Amino acid sequence: MTRRGPVVVVGDTLLDRDVDGVVERLCPDAPVPVLDEQAETERPGGAGLAALLAAGQGREVVLVTALAGDAGGARLSRLLAGVEVHALALTGPTPEKIRLRAGGRTLLRLDRGGAGGRCGEPARPALAALRDAAVILVSDYGRGVARQPALRAALAATAAPVVWDPHPRGPVPIRNTRLATPNEAEVRHLAGYAGRDPLATAHRGGEVLRQRWRAAAVAVTMGERGALLCHAGPTPLVAPAPRRADGDTCGAGDAFAVTAALAIADGAPVTEAVPEAVTRATAYVAAGGARAALAGAPDPAGAAWSAGEPADAGGVPAAAGLVARVRARGGRVVATGGCFDLLHAGHVATLQAARRLGDCLVVCLNSDASVARLKGPSRPVNHQDDRRRVLAALECVDAVVVFDEPTPYAVLSWLRPDVWVKGADYADRGLPEAELLRRWEGQAVLVPYLAGRSTTALVAARNGDRGKR
């Protein structure tokens, strides 16, 4: 059942800082690298990041957190623009998490402040937000907000579903939590069990925690292996990651928990919310993690972690991250497009030939509305999410992006492929995209097409068979 109201995030907000630079020498007085700083970025971490990710999906978001009255707290207040914040007073300094990075890799993490800080009492509007929420996500980073007695009492009394992202130093989730989302390391620590097989360990440890916490379900996140869901059924559900994502994993757990919470708010059962959360967290990592998600690039719509893209095949974030990585190593980007309504041998032949022309293949897929305008109201036969999932499962396809226009000009304008490919059945029609590609010295080409294969013919044959019956 879908509830109306805001998405409420409760938990500790940290100030995350990334110091990026280059390492070209070792320190003369110790065998450690010397980082020459080139850039520094700041963003909210913890519950603050979760709130911004939820707001980035167009949701009304309320953040109940603790902020200190220092310069760090003031910076967090500015960085949380667009989110309604109900701040408890935090004694002591703002907790900071500082990463020193070179070449996209973290060399060292420095945690500063926050030790021994105490949270004040929540005001009435914060408690009212918990009462009226569509869903509540507790993003616990072990700093004390989730322990606040008045907040815990309000969480226990609310009718809203609660998703709890726990921390080893934090309190246990409230009873009847709809979904708890510990990672593997947290499960081993909290459940006190570590077997040889990762799946067996996640299952046994997750089930221990589910019973101990009296939670409806526990989803154990396992990084690139996806997640394992322990719920009321006798057999756990494993949601594998749709593909390997090489990128910054900072905040991936927050992306997972946010997606699961929003799906539950929309009425999805946990067996559907967890697979969706896995695929969106994978896309989040592939797109560049927290910095890309909050920076607004390279997604042409202005959000690197595109909430509008169904998670099955990665969408814009996966395509953007893929293209950036291929170009960084001097590779060639190939793209093709079409409806791909009933996938057949002709489609596969075109896609395989296109992939051989470069180092990655991005498929631009007509949306359902676009197909209907082109083919008539009886098409497409298959929904765009299903068509995208089938395409993404092909070994020759690296990313899929859906577009709603008659032609994929907008997608191609930001994708800027080196090669645009269509089947040779377009030989007599010409390629309208060819002129666009010439703007960046791209090349439009045709590849051999298997004659006699078309979705239109397949649909006609099916309808003819029905008429005979």
* Domain-embedded: residue 2: no
pTM: 0.69
Residues 40 and 189 in one domain: yes
Token pair for 58: 């167009």
In a domain, 223, yes or no: yes
Pairing of strands 13-26, 399-403: unpaired
Please tell me the total count of domains within the chain.
2
Residue 178 placed within a domain: yes
Looking at the structure, tell me whether residues 84 and 145 fall in a common domain.
yes
Q: What's the domain range around 90?
A: 7-295
* One domain, residues 254 and 327: no
Domain edge (last residue) among 295, 320, 350: 295
Structure tokens at 177: 């939590």
Q: Which of 271, 295, 319 is the last residue of a domain?
A: 295
**Residue 207 confidence (pLDDT):** 94
Cβ–Cβ under 8 Å, residues 283 and 313: no
Q: Does a structural domain hold residue 431?
A: yes
Query: What would the two tokens of residue 413 be?
Result: 């304008």
Do 243 and 329 share a domain, yes or no? no
- Are 233 and 328 in the same domain? no
Question: Does 303 reside within a domain?
Answer: no
**pLDDT value of residue 114:** 63
Tell me if 300 is assigned to some domain. no
Residues 6 or more apart whose CB falls under 8 angstroms from that of 320 comprise: 287, 298, 299, 304
- Name every residue whose Cβ is closer than 8 Å to that of residue 193 and which is 6 or more positions away in sequence: 187, 201, 204, 205, 208
Is residue 315 in a domain? yes
Residues 220 and 122 in one domain: yes
Instruction: Tell whether 235 is covered by a domain.
Output: yes
Residues 122 and 148: beta-carbon distance below 8 Å: yes
Residue 436: HSE in the Cβ half-sphere, 13 Å Cα cutoff: 16
Domain boundary among 267, 295, 323: 295
CATH for 198: 3.40.1190.20
Q: Please identify every residue annotated as catalytic.
A: 254
pLDDT of residue 261: 97
Residues 266 and 351 in one domain: no
Q: What is the pLDDT of residue 460?
A: 52
On whether both 134 and 209 belong to a single domain, the answer is yes
Q: Are 163 and 272 within one domain? A: yes
Residues 287 and 327 occupy one common structural domain: no
Quick one: 76 and 176 in the same domain?
yes
The CA-atom distances, in angstroms, between 219 and each of 52, 250, 270, 339 are 22, 19, 9, 36
Shared domain for 253 and 331, answered yes or no, is: no
- The strand pairing partners of 377, in sequence order, are none
Mean pLDDT by 10 residues, the chain (469 residues): 83 94 91 91 94 91 94 92 91 92 90 78 93 96 93 95 96 96 94 82 93 96 92 86 83 96 94 92 88 58 34 62 87 92 88 92 92 86 90 92 86 89 74 87 81 52 47
Query: What is the distance between the alpha carbons of residues 208 and 440, in angstroms, rounded to a whole number?
Result: 57
**Which CATH number goes with the domain that contains 331?**
3.40.50.620
Structure confidence at residue 197 (pLDDT)? 83
